[in-house]
Amino acid sequence: MKIQYAAILLIAGILAFAPTLKADDPAAAEAEKEKHIAHLFVVMHMEELQKQILLQTINMIIDLRRKEKPQVPAKFWEDAKRVLNDEFSNSMQSMERGRTIVYAHHYSDDDIKGLTAFYESPLGQKMVKETPGITTDMLAVGKAWGYEVGARAVQRLKEIAKQKGYAI
């Protein structure tokens, strides 16, 4: 009888504490990691940053096309900006899923927790605040660099073509 009573107590104890024991459940671990990634994106203001970068990119592309096609009315380019912005903005959720997959592939859950701690720090928040301006400045630097390097490359190609008798 004592053995049965002890066995019942043991089983009751195991059942009482079983919910607190973590099993090796890869799906649960992955779901937890995705929650951590979602929180990281909130701390990084990822959606706002992505919208700002998207708007800058759309404006840059439209401005380039406008210069290539000056005969197209300005109203068309304004409509093009609006349509592109609407389409991309309305598709942000699918992009968020893609971002989550990429982060999950490249970072461990501990990495995500470390990144979150950084972005929650004053320096991390400064980085979040300054990133849109840095991105704008880097786009301008890259554009100027691209024109400079591109002009040199075109000049060299013209010389090569001339030497070989090609008319370009």
Which tens digit of pLDDT belongs to each residue from 8-24? 655 665 665 555 545 57
Q: How many Å apart are CA 153 and CA 156, to the nearest integer?
A: 5
pLDDT > 80? residue 50: yes
For residue 149, pLDDT over 80 is answered with yes
Instruction: Give me the chain's average pLDDT, please.
Output: 87
Instruction: Note if the pTM is more than 0.85.
Output: no
Contact 60, 144 (CB under 8 A): no
Asked whether the predicted pLDDT for residue 37 surpasses 70, the reply is yes
Query: Rounded distance, CA 11 to CA 15, Å?
Result: 6
* CA proximity to 38, closest of 115, 100, 89: 100
- Please give the Cα distance from 30 to 69 (Å, whole number): 49
The pLDDT of residue 95 is above 70: yes
Amino acid occupying residue 129: K
pLDDT > 70 fraction of the chain, expressed in percent and rounded:
86
Query: Does the pLDDT at position 94 exceed 80?
Result: yes
Task: Give the residue from 87, 78, 28 showing the smallest Cα distance to 54.
Answer: 87
Please name which of 163, 122, 135 lies closest in space to residue 55, comparing C-alpha atoms: 135
**Region 25-45: what's the mean pLDDT?**
93
pLDDT at residue 3, rounded to an integer: 62
Confirm if 132 and 139 have CB atoms less than 8 A apart: no
* Percent helix, percent strand, percent coil in the chain, to nearest 5: 85, 0, 15
Domain ranges of the chain: 25-163
pLDDT of residue 1: 54
User: Which pLDDT does position 125 carry in this prediction?
Assistant: 95
